Structure 1
Amino acid sequence: MKTKVVFFEVPGGTDKWLNGYRKDTMPMVDALKKRGQEAEVIFFTIEKRDEIFDYVKENAIAYVSRINPGNLKHEAEYFDMLRELCALGVIGMPHPDAMIGYGAKDALVKLRHTSLVPEDTYAYYTTEEFKSTFPKSLLGGERVLKQNRGSTGEGIWRVQLVDALAEDATEVPLDANIKCTEAKDNHVEYHTLGAFMDFCEQYIIGANGMLVDMPFLPRIKEGEIRLLMLRDTPVNVVHKKPAEDADAFSATLFSGAQYRYDAPEDWATLVHAFLAQLPDITSLLGGYDLPLIWTADFILDTDEHGNDTYILGEMNCSCVGFTSQLELAESVAEEIIACIGIEVETAV
């Protein structure tokens, strides 16, 4: 009988604690064991892929993926293994295609017909699309380009025109001067539009390459609001305020942003509006169960009536950490047990 919950990790990486595990993994394992649920960690390696697959297939009722994509050298093979396990009835937390659907930047484009994302949000999968459309979108105002790869703001650029264009312009000319600020560290570069688009081709070419293009929201200076979700329940809110520098728009710690942890009740308007749209989100992103632990980042905006609105900037569910709040492991364990119980009851 399959009884175990398996946590997947990979050896090495900068996210490991002194014991070789992610700092937030063993607290979840221990919380499950405390509740009488068998749980263990398996380190995925491509050399032992088949052996791991057979063991999990025979022994696990569910898996929890705790692998930072930046540490995963064989992502395609790992995801294929997870798909096979899910197809055989192992409960995926999350399903690999949910990881892709929620984590990829083009999730924003899939959600742009909801109130969460501006309509003029685009995804570029080829350099031809990018070079054809971006000069037109930039004509309408400041834009933010986001690469699909990378982390901590790398390859996320705020793009501004330096000089005004002629009133009858239909797109920004390639020789126009632009100001580009990267979210990684808020450094500023000046380029012609053509040269900068040539530089950005690196983000589109290759596996999982793409660029997302969306309007710049100036109220990012008031802070980014991150909802930390446990399935369909918000467990805390992180308010991330960029540094005071005039060009700063990044909300990463590395760039000097200040973090504050709030209760979901402190952001009731945002929370209620977001929860009301979860059915649309799950449907538009593939119909998979909500991830076990995931985040949604929002930026304040203002509607035509002067009211506050919240625009979705990105989501993440590949391996969301909670190392600064390890007590959440108890709630995670309860949710895992509840999901297993629901699945077993449904099967019976």
Structure 2
Amino acid sequence: MDTEQHTPRRSRIAILWRGDAAARREATPHNNRFVRVFEALEASGIEACPVVYDESFADAVRDQLLTMDGVLVWVDPIHQGKTRAALDPLLREVASKHPTQHPWVSAHPDVILKMGVKEVLYRTRHLGWGADTHRYATADAFRAEFPSRLRTGGPRVLKQNRGNGGQGVWKVEALPNADATVRVLHALRGSQPEEMPLDAFIAHCEPYFGWGGCIIDQAFQPRLPEGMIRCYVSGSKVAGFGHQLIKALIPPPPEGPDAPEAQPGPRIMHGPDAPQFRTLRRLMEDEWIPQLMATLVIDEASLPVIWDADFLYGPRDADGADTYVLCEINASSCFAIPDEAPAAIAQTVKERVRRSMESVR
């Protein structure tokens, strides 16, 4: 009779981010910005492994990921001219390689295409976080519909479907007595307002249809200078908040776009129990996240292990209370995160691992 004691194998989770060959060789759990996430996973009894990705050694990354029980991905849609065009098919392949024992991927590329793109603003516009939002599916529709909407609806904010860091996000205003000319301001840091023919601006935006498939058009929110609230979520539970006085889409001061006065304020992090965001947390957990899942057909086990919803303050209601307007969901590379978030990530990962193990028994 075999009386040898067998210690159960610890689950192995990859933490994947973009870097070069040198970064891949030198990566450890302790020498990168995700060190607190590594520590939280280790404290939960999970072995966390660094995996640095680049297209030039994608095959080695694929082989490494296939030895894991799960993959946590932090890669922006656009980074120094590189996209996820090669990474996403790799992740899909890894997640489906073995029908009964494949590693799960968070966030899965198919989930990102549902919730981590600007189109989610249009698809969920009926939720309590919605605003005056439109979608242009083709360049012809954009050229035909946008000018009249701009003239009648006040300043608009246009957003390419996939992007980060303000790339492809524009505030557009019609000029008085000049239907053919607009004032535009790019959300990229250092941008300044520019006046140009409306036709020229429309032509400038048309390449966005090739990359992201559509352009989303929202009404500009006048309370933008009061800051943006970033609601961090792990699975379906709020993990914290960040509040920042942003300067994107706000004209720079007379000192210029590089002056200290033009720089965004620090993002002040708060835990999930922050009293000033109690109402927003209740709305997210009790109403908006369940409605998001139903609208996009995403089950709870497929929600990203860490994601965030960015809100601007909307018009005050009849009682003078704040309302909130969703301006973006980040699911590809949500970082930096509040101090409380690594423990929330570890708890969600532990639950995903348990479910995955039960499914293959």
TM-score for both structures, normalised by structure 1: 0.82
Q: 1: distance between equivalents of 2:62 and 2:349?
A: 21
| Secondary structure at 2:126 match in 1 | coil
The correspondence of residues 105-116 of structure 1 with structure 2, limited to 5 A, is: 105-116=118-129
**1:215 lines up with 2:219 in the alignment:** yes
Q: 2:130 aligns with which of 86, 101, 117?
A: 117
1:144-182 deviation digits (Å, cap 9, x = unpaired): 1112344322332111122158xxxxxxx5x2x322222
The correspondence of residues 231-242 of structure 1 with structure 2, limited to 5 A, is: 231-242=235-246
Q: Which amino acid aligns with 1:63?
A: V
Runs of 4+ in 1 over 6 A off after TM superposition: none
| Secondary structure at 1:322 match in 2 | coil
User: What is the number of equivalent residue pairs in this alignment?
Assistant: 331
Preserved contact between residue 183 and residue 255 of structure 1 (Cα < 8 Å): no
Tell me by how many angstroms 1:105 deviates: 1.0
1:173-221 deviation digits (Å, cap 9, x = unpaired): 5x2x3222222235111122222212222333x3325321110110112
Q: 2: distance between equivalents of 1:104 and 1:238?
A: 20
Change in CA separation of 1:254 and 1:128 when aligned onto 2, cut-off 3 Å? farther
Name 2:153's counterpart in structure 1: 140
Q: Which 5+ residue runs of structure 1 have no aligned equivalent?
A: 166-172
Q: 2: distance between equivalents of 1:244 and 1:105?
A: 17
Preserved contact between residue 2 and residue 60 of structure 1 (Cα < 8 Å): no
1:43-76 deviation digits (Å, cap 9, x = unpaired): 234454445434433x321111122333484623
| Secondary structure at 1:76 match in 2 | coil
1:257-278 deviation digits (Å, cap 9, x = unpaired): 2232234432111111122221
Preserved contact between residue 16 and residue 71 of structure 2 (Cα < 8 Å): yes
The correspondence of residues 1-348 of structure 1 with structure 2, limited to 5 A, is: 3-12=11-20, 23-57=32-66, 59-71=67-79, 73=82, 75-87=84-96, 88=98, 89-118=102-131, 120-138=132-150, 139-163=152-176, 173=179, 175=180, 177-184=181-188, 185=190, 187-204=192-209, 206-243=210-247, 247=251, 256-258=263-265, 259-264=267-272, 265=274, 266-275=276-285, 276-288=287-299, 289-302=302-315, 305=318, 307-322=321-336, 325=338, 328-348=341-361
Change in CA separation of 1:242 and 1:328 when aligned onto 2, cut-off 3 Å? closer
Q: 2: distance between equivalents of 1:223 and 1:238?
A: 10
Change in CA separation of 1:222 and 1:333 when aligned onto 2, cut-off 3 Å? same
Percent identical residues: 26
Preserved contact between residue 98 and residue 286 of structure 1 (Cα < 8 Å): no
Preserved contact between residue 186 and residue 255 of structure 1 (Cα < 8 Å): no
Q: 2: distance between equivalents of 1:271 and 1:248?
A: 32
TM-score for both structures, normalised by structure 2: 0.80
Tell me by how many angstroms 1:226 deviates: 0.8
Give the root-mean-square deviation of aligned CA atoms: 3.3
Name 1:170's counterpart in structure 2: none
Q: 2: distance between equivalents of 1:304 and 1:42?
A: 47
1:228-255 deviation digits (Å, cap 9, x = unpaired): 11222222211122459973699xx995
Q: 2: distance between equivalents of 1:156 and 1:244?
A: 9
